[in-house]
Structure 1
Amino acid sequence: MQQDSLVEYGTRRFIITITAIMCALLEIVDSTIVNVALNEMKGNLGATLSEVGWVITAYAIGNVIIVPMTSWLSAQFGRRNYFAASIIIFTIFSFLCGNATNIWELVFFRLCQGIGGGALLVTSQTIITESYPIEKRSMAQAIYGLGVIIGPTLGPPLGGYIVDNFSWPYIFYINIPLGIAAAIMTLQFVRSPKFAEKRKARDVDWFGILLLAITVGSLQYILERGHEEDWFDSKLIIFLTASAVIGLILFLWRELTYKYPIVELRVLKNGNLRLGTAMSFILGFGLYGSTFIVPLYTQSILGWTALQSGALMIPAALTTAVMMPIIGRLLTRGVKQQLLVALGLLTFFIYSFWGYKIIGPDTGKNDFFWMLIVRGMGLGLLFIPITSLALSTLKGQEIGQGAAFTGMMRQLGGSFGIAAITTFIANQTSIHRANLSQYLDGNSFDVQQRLAGLKASFISKGFSPDVALQSAYKLLDFSVLKQASVLAYMDVFLYLGILFLICIPFVLFVKERKGREPIDVSDAMH
């Protein structure tokens, strides 16, 4: 097959690009859109907070299990057929999610929706990239990156608008017309490359598939639910940790010794891919972690609505959108990927340190604006150069396998980031609360004055003296808790920034590609 045989031109390429971006957006928006609807789902379905959290967890588990298998599944069924089938599965289970009558039905349908959606990201990346000639590949990555970066930001405000004006099933129903259109356009316009001979049923790595599902599923559950289950105080978390560790060891052994592995691990011998995979994990940590922490802070500390919190992130997403084609052009002109990644990490450090300096109990919308613009610039500088760096010294079929690794690690980085941030905030809040409480000496004149003032305020509202005193103590305790929470969020911003700063030297010491043609991602799954 000719190297550029899948390159498209004119209207056909435009339609394929729109289809692939729509699918990438559908998949990513759906991973965050439910966050703001959990409360309404809880009430409608009679579920506990712990049970309704499974709506997010199940989707992530389905996603992360299927991503490493996309290269193999595309070869088995043909990329166009596999991509169209994934869209159809995603769309059908979106409809079923909206019609779920109890929480466990919804959780099962979300797992299946995640299995359909997981393929959309990696496959749409390959379809977009191979539709463009080699000299425009960096620009194609920029176009694809728009969906990946903007998706998590669009989810909360869109979900907030739908929940406020309609009802929670409509966050799933909006996928249906888009899914039908995407499936029709895929079958009509997308072409499949020629693959090596399909595997016979007896050659399929069924044991590898099972071990992958156990390992990644267990790890994803631990990361998503560990905090609520009190980590290793829970027998289930201990059991799943053992499953993940044993499953990983057996999976590595199986994939390195089996003739037809489901995931080709040998490709990780490539140093640039190893670094790119690690950087994808950190990108996921930063992207999903910062998308998670800012709305969480504005809602829990500042008392904003979900819609207000989501809308706050939109200018930053637009900044990233503006950055993407600029970065694509710079890469096309030969600017080193390492320099752009290092600059992106430095920009992210500035964003995090800025957050550390400005947040407080009364931080306003305008205080966040420029800080989040800087975040948008940092993400623009990181996404395409990291992908390009990871795949730069691979060739042929290795590129598709490398893309699957970076996609999976970005997703796991996001899960790990959210789990780590949630646990860190809880622990730091407890530490700061204990430290602040030391200053609340009952014999202190200032403390007595404060209590007397609060008690008088409650008495003036009709409370009895005893109840007024208890309410004064509660309000004082709440003030301490709020201040402790603010200090914990400040710590998160500071340590996130330090993490990005530490990574810069590692990126700058990466070997540069020598004597290679421009990367051709269209070889990804040939």
Structure 2
Amino acid sequence: MNRILLIITVISAAIMELIDTSIVNVAINHMSGSLGATLEDTSWVVTSYGIANVIIIPMTGFLVNNLGRRNYYIGSLVLFTFCSFMCGNASGIWELVAFRFFQGIGGGALLSVSATVVYECFPKEKQNIASALFGIGVFIGPTIGPTLGGNIIDNYSWEWIFYINIPIGIITAVICYRILPESPTRKKIKEIDWMGIILLIIGVGSLQTILERGETEDWFETRYITILAVTAFISLLLFVYRELTTAYPVVKLSILKSPSLSISALLTFITGMGMFTSIYLTPVFAQRLLQFTPSMAGLMLLPGSIIAVFALIITGRVLQKGVPPAIIVLIGFCCFIYFNWSMSKVTLEVSFATISVNLIFRALGMALLTVPLSTLAISSLRPEDIPQGTAINNMMRQLGGSFGISIINTFIVRRMAQHRSDLVSNITYTNNSVVERLNKYTSLFQSKGFSLGDAHHRAIGLMDAIVQKQVFILSYIDAYLFIGAAFGLALPLLLFFSRKNGNKKLVIASTDH
């Protein structure tokens, strides 16, 4: 009974952490107005959390070994919950940003340590089931975050997107205090790699800031982005050298010599791109162009989410019966490629049901990718290296999401400029169809009582709005095709997952735990 309660508790904590990666996005405008801050300053509420998350996740193994898993996990829950309360009570934008950063520090453990605890609750031969159960949390969190945030904003106030964490945080902390065991593989490190910690914080912090703020700041046209890019490159290069040469690394990069972990990490990076960009693009597309409400956008995601939960569990059982992981991953990639291809065919007349069906393929793709990649990532690692391997894999998913959203934002902005240029070049007074439509709109406004000059001016504005809507939909179509192509280009990596590298290693690993 304690095992079931522990699994439910740590997965709930992971879902809470993942929801907070995206729930704030829909509240930016409300926060900006309430706190008297610019949208640019308010966006740091999102950025600071992401930076803290990506910094702390790879350090999970080091912190667990030195502080003890119980101390680190429960302490992180307390920090996350306290900072959630302080975020809701913030009276200024930079106070909110600061507490949001520390909330992200606390949230890091809720992802990686939760995954390790779930794995330990199952024998090695049933860890596909563990991956499936944890995968439910990984999938649900980013999916429901924007929808939950939208409903809270619509019915309450932005502070409640933080207050909602408080009862969950308190309950999970109390339960973990009573039943969470210490890590059976804990091995306290004799020396602390302070140089590695400093280089990691500077390198990953700089990189994440670039990804979060690059498009807003016009990339390398802004001096501080250029400085951060150089800083990130040098720091991460020195970090890799340091971690491969020191006796007590803060991040054990040597475990990436495992082909299963390294290839899984790359594919998890691509999966993170797909997971976060699709859940970013589709609700925005539905609400901005199709005029869906936040509640409708949430309902649109619901059928796929329900099917994905069952698909995750079935995938774990299928893998357990000996189906090669590479085949499951291939089907998952194909589902996601189909989702992006089908979304690239939509028009402004697309129905709610059509998008919901398309999203089912996205959900199936994510479900089929989550379990085998999580299992393969740790399949050939020694028990004491599993926390570190899990942390690296989770970090790659988060970085994939950051890279994906950053790249897709830049891509959309550039495609919008190109499409607008192409469309506007055809809107001339020598184009008979343009003149005919302009006259039609002018007559429409005249019939509503406007003078000829005002009617003509409003007709031009209406045509411009129509052009802009077409620019948006063409750019989003290109974005879906771009993501689908990224998945297609990653398919050759599956050739490295031979049957020996999949099933046989899983069986071997199951005998030494």
Residue range with higher mean Cα deviation, 309-318 or 26-35? 309-318
Task: For residue 15 of structure 1, report the CA deviation from its aligned partner.
Answer: 0.7
Match of 2:416 in 1: 429
Task: For residue 509 of structure 1, report the CA deviation from its aligned partner.
Answer: 3.6
Q: Does structure 1 conserve the Cα–Cα contact (< 8 Å) formed by 2:273 and 2:397?
A: yes
Distance 1:100 1:522, change over 3 A: farther
Task: From 375, 388, 395, give the equivalent of 1:388.
Answer: 375
State how far apart, in whole Å, the 2-side matches of 1:452 and 1:519 are: 74
Task: From 185, 194, 202, give the equivalent of 1:206.
Answer: 194
**Residue identity in the other structure for 1:141:** S
State how far apart, in whole Å, the 2-side matches of 1:219 and 1:306 are: 32
Task: For residue 491 of structure 1, report the CA deviation from its aligned partner.
Answer: 1.0
Does 2:30 correspond to 1:40? Answer: yes
State how far apart, in whole Å, the 1-side matches of 2:472 and 2:153 are: 28
Task: For residue 269 of structure 1, report the CA deviation from its aligned partner.
Answer: 1.4
Task: For residue 522 of structure 1, report the CA deviation from its aligned partner.
Answer: 10
Task: For residue 402 of structure 1, report the CA deviation from its aligned partner.
Answer: 1.5
Match of 1:18 in 2: 8
Task: From 60, 74, 77, give the equivalent of 2:67.
Answer: 77
State how far apart, in whole Å, the 2-side matches of 1:375 and 1:283 are: 11
Match of 1:8 in 2: none
SS at match of 1:431: helix
Does 2:44 correspond to 1:54? Answer: yes
Q: Does structure 1 conserve the Cα–Cα contact (< 8 Å) formed by 2:125 and 2:507?
A: no
Match of 1:6 in 2: none
Does 2:51 correspond to 1:67? Answer: no
Match of 2:295 in 1: 307
Task: For residue 460 of structure 1, report the CA deviation from its aligned partner.
Answer: 2.5
Q: Does structure 2 conserve the Cα–Cα contact (< 8 Å) formed by 1:91 and 1:179?
A: yes
Task: Note the aligned Cα RMSD (angstroms).
Answer: 1.6
Task: For residue 462 of structure 1, report the CA deviation from its aligned partner.
Answer: 3.0
Paired residues, number: 510
Residue range with higher mean Cα deviation, 467-476 or 225-234? 467-476
**Residue identity in the other structure for 1:390:** A
SS at match of 1:31: coil
Structure 2's unaligned 5+ residue stretches are: none
Match of 2:175 in 1: 185
Q: Does structure 2 conserve the Cα–Cα contact (< 8 Å) formed by 1:391 and 1:519?
A: no
Match of 1:419 in 2: 406
Match of 1:495 in 2: 482
Please list, as runs of the form range in 1=range in 2, the aligned pairs for 1:128-277 lying within 5 A after superposition: 128-195=118-185, 197-200=187-190, 203-277=191-265
Task: For residue 305 of structure 1, report the CA deviation from its aligned partner.
Answer: 2.4
Q: Give CA deviations for 1:87-111 in whole Å, capped at 9, x if unaligned.
A: 0000000000000001111111100
| Identity %, equivalent residues | 43
Q: Does structure 2 conserve the Cα–Cα contact (< 8 Å) formed by 1:346 and 1:504?
A: no
State how far apart, in whole Å, the 1-side matches of 2:157 and 2:431 are: 52
Task: For residue 197 of structure 1, report the CA deviation from its aligned partner.
Answer: 4.7
Match of 1:287 in 2: 275
Task: For residue 82 of structure 1, report the CA deviation from its aligned partner.
Answer: 0.8
**Residue identity in the other structure for 2:471:** A
State how far apart, in whole Å, the 2-side matches of 1:501 and 1:137 are: 28
State how far apart, in whole Å, the 1-side matches of 2:104 and 2:412 are: 28
State how far apart, in whole Å, the 2-side matches of 1:451 and 1:40 are: 38
Q: Does structure 2 conserve the Cα–Cα contact (< 8 Å) formed by 1:342 and 1:508?
A: no
State how far apart, in whole Å, the 1-side matches of 2:512 and 2:144 are: 29
State how far apart, in whole Å, the 2-side matches of 1:17 and 1:199 are: 28
Q: Does structure 1 conserve the Cα–Cα contact (< 8 Å) formed by 2:271 and 2:400?
A: yes
Does 2:359 correspond to 1:369? Answer: no
Task: From 452, 456, 467, give the equivalent of 2:454.
Answer: 467
State how far apart, in whole Å, the 1-side matches of 2:406 and 2:298 are: 20
Distance 1:516 1:413, change over 3 A: closer
State how far apart, in whole Å, the 2-side matches of 1:132 and 1:197 are: 21
Task: For residue 395 of structure 1, report the CA deviation from its aligned partner.
Answer: 2.0
Task: For residue 507 of structure 1, report the CA deviation from its aligned partner.
Answer: 0.5
Match of 2:439 in 1: 452
State how far apart, in whole Å, the 2-side matches of 1:303 and 1:53 are: 24
Does 2:463 correspond to 1:476? Answer: yes
Match of 2:105 in 1: 115
Task: From 307, 316, 320, give the equivalent of 1:332.
Answer: 320
State how far apart, in whole Å, the 2-side matches of 1:497 and 1:521 are: 39
State how far apart, in whole Å, the 2-side matches of 1:444 and 1:196 are: 75
State how far apart, in whole Å, the 1-side matches of 2:511 and 2:275 are: 24
**Residue identity in the other structure for 1:42:** S
Task: For residue 518 of structure 1, report the CA deviation from its aligned partner.
Answer: 5.0
Match of 1:398 in 2: 385
TM value normalised by structure 1: 0.94
Q: Give CA deviations for 1:214-249 in whole Å, capped at 9, x if unaligned.
A: 111111111111111011111111011011001111
State how far apart, in whole Å, the 2-side matches of 1:13 and 1:366 are: 40
State how far apart, in whole Å, the 2-side matches of 1:78 and 1:137 are: 23
Distance 1:247 1:344, change over 3 A: same
State how far apart, in whole Å, the 2-side matches of 1:43 and 1:115 are: 27
Distance 1:437 1:147, change over 3 A: same
Q: Does structure 1 conserve the Cα–Cα contact (< 8 Å) formed by 2:37 and 2:93?
A: yes
State how far apart, in whole Å, the 2-side matches of 1:515 and 1:279 are: 18
Match of 1:343 in 2: 331
SS at match of 1:397: helix
SS at match of 2:21: helix
Q: Does structure 1 conserve the Cα–Cα contact (< 8 Å) formed by 2:26 and 2:149?
A: yes
TM value normalised by structure 2: 0.96
State how far apart, in whole Å, the 1-side matches of 2:511 and 2:238 are: 31
Residue range with higher mean Cα deviation, 96-105 or 28-37? 28-37
Task: For residue 515 of structure 1, report the CA deviation from its aligned partner.
Answer: 6.2
State how far apart, in whole Å, the 2-side matches of 1:508 and 1:326 are: 24
Q: Does structure 1 conserve the Cα–Cα contact (< 8 Å) formed by 2:64 and 2:186?
A: no
Match of 1:379 in 2: 366
Task: From 487, 491, 494, give the equivalent of 1:507.
Answer: 494
**Residue identity in the other structure for 1:210:** I
